[in-house]
Amino acid sequence: MELSVRHRTGSWAWLGLLAAALILAADQVSKWYVLNGLNLPLRGRVRVLPVLDLAMVWNRGVTFGMLNGLGAWSGPVIAVVALAIVAGLALWLRRTTSALVAVAIGAVAGGAVGNVMDRLRHGAVVDFIYAHIGDWAFNYVFNIADAAIVCGVIALVLDSQWTRPRSGAGASDAACGLPKPPQGG
């Protein structure tokens, strides 16, 4: 009997769905707590650690406040684009044979859905994590969904660099879709 370490296509989809569900749950629970438990909109800022504060920001843009000044129509447009991306990620997830890629896709999708839910519910995304070291600050306030999206994208980029065929000696031209060079001498 032969044991195989290869998994059939899509066998890691469950792991990506689990990651998406966990990210979505953590994101929504943390935002609920910030809004209702801490009442951060009234408090403004709460010191958690010497390097971490909770600071209330309503973000009408995308991750880390990018595209924040596009006007009232930006929220619905960003939500539709995010849901289209999530649909594309779902297709990718069905085909992945890598646990790392599945978790990364799940993190991006779960974060995107969490931020879309904020846009639909509040008209903006609830951002509240503010990291700093002394007087130096990371000038963005973010949330769990944003962190998951960024970490997921970084993991996908790193995975694409680790798994692509190398050029030069030992690389297979056929793997790159190139015709085999003529043999001669």
Work out the angle at residue 67's Cα, subtended by the Cα atoms of residues 40 and 60, and round it to the nearest 5 degrees.
Answer: 30
Look-up of token digits 């980029």:
157
Question: Which residues are identified as catalytic?
Answer: 127, 146
Residue 128 near residue 34 (C-beta atoms within 8 A)? yes
- Report H helices in 33-143: 40-43, 74-95, 99-122
Residue 144 near residue 111 (C-beta atoms within 8 A)? yes
CA distance 94 to 19: 14
The CB-based long-range contact list for 26-35 (8 Å cut-off, 24+ gap) reads 26/144, 27/110, 27/111, 27/114, 27/115, 27/143, 27/144, 27/145, 27/148, 28/114, 28/117, 30/128, 30/143, 30/144, 31/114, 31/118, 31/126, 31/128, 31/143, 34/126, 34/128, 35/126
